[in-house]
Amino acid sequence: MKLSLAIKFNLVFVAIFAIGLTAAGVVADKVLQQQALDETRHDADVLMRAAEAMQNYTAKHITPLLATQIQYSFVPESVPAFSAIEMLNTLQGAFPNFSYRSTMLNPTNPRDRPSDWETEVIARLHDQPALKEITGQRRTPGGAHLLFLARPSVIRDSTCMQCHSTPAAAPRTMLDKYGPANGFGWTMNEVIGAQFVSVPMSDSIAHGRALWRSFMEALSVVFAVVLIVLNVMVHFLVTRRLQALSRAADELSLGKLGDVELPTRGSDEIASLAVSFGRMRRSLVTAFELLDESGPATTVPPGSQS
């Protein structure tokens, strides 16, 4: 099958663009996925820091104020972790898939008991004391895609041991509320649980995919515009001028040595080729004129010489 120069050019350009578009799509997808992960990780870190700030505030300002009250009735709000949980749980009304949990392997409050997957994370933090946090992804039974951030809970304040060493040392009001079976035997400077923050990734992933589609669509539009512009440029700068040279060559091959229009304007290779064709035409015209001036050759009949 005979293909024109323009078709060959378009086929090569489309092939190059397809390879480039595929490579750009793969790279852009990886970059946007990493960006979505970083954004979700940042949201989880902000939520974790808010919980830690609430715990620190409670420990410094609220717990001392309720130190006398605990002799008459136990106030859960005096526990830093309890206050952080209650505060951040109020966010779930506006952000239902965001969650914060402060879990213990042996909690005083049964609601702080870890689930199976949380127990595995706590065990890993316990076995690797140098590990400051663990980040991972999981799916809820409802199908939500979540990123979780876990940081170890370590007893570093000796005043905490008044409530968590032995039932005998614990306040009577705390035993009346939670009983003597749980929340005791904790050890100083040992991982006894972990704080967990869960943040949905669905929105970030969907945003990344939308950006990827917009990027690919924009790149395709740019390709289409570039292809049109290049075709116009190739037509005026190459194809049309080569067609003129082709017609001139055809006329010269048929012996039509009259004025032949050649695209000699410019200083590129096609213009140089047209100039060479012009010189060849003038040389042929001069040669034929010399032949015409010399006239027909004289032929001597045989046997006329003596």
> How much is the pLDDT for 306?
42
* Residue type at position 109: N
* Residue type at position 7: I
Residue 292 has pLDDT above 80, yes or no: no
> How much is the pLDDT for 266?
62
How far apart are alpha carbons 107 and 112 in whole angstroms?
6
> How much is the pLDDT for 90?
83
> How much is the pLDDT for 152?
93
Instruction: Give me the residue spans of the domains in the chain.
Output: 11-200, 211-291
> How much is the pLDDT for 83?
85
Contact 108, 174 (CB under 8 A): yes
Count of CB atoms situated within 10 Å of the CB of 154: 17
> How much is the pLDDT for 273?
72
Consecutive H or E run containing 303: none
**CA 43: distance to chain centroid?**
18
Sheet hosting strand 145-154, strand order edge to edge: 99-104, 191-200, 145-154, 134-139
SS3 call for 44: helix
Listed range (28-42, 157-171, 181-195, 278-292) with the worst mean pLDDT = 278-292
- Determine the average pLDDT of the residues in 184-189: 87
Give the Å distances, CA to CA, from 5 to 124, 240, 294.
66, 11, 45
> How much is the pLDDT for 31?
93
pLDDT grade for 86, boundaries at 50, 70 and 90: confident
Rounded to the nearest integer, the mean pLDDT of the chain is: 82
- Determine the average pLDDT of the residues in 32-46: 90
pLDDT (tens digit per residue) in 220-257: 999 889 888 988 888 777 777 777 777 777 766 666 65
* Residue type at position 268: D
- Determine the average pLDDT of the residues in 208-214: 92
pLDDT grade for 212, boundaries at 50, 70 and 90: very high
pLDDT grade for 296, boundaries at 50, 70 and 90: low
> How much is the pLDDT for 27?
94
pLDDT grade for 19, boundaries at 50, 70 and 90: very high
pLDDT (tens digit per residue) in 247-285: 777 766 666 656 656 655 666 666 677 777 667 766 766
SS3 call for 36: helix
Residue 121 has pLDDT above 80, yes or no: yes
To the nearest whole percent, how much of the chain has pLDDT over 90?
Answer: 22
pTM metric for this prediction: 0.66
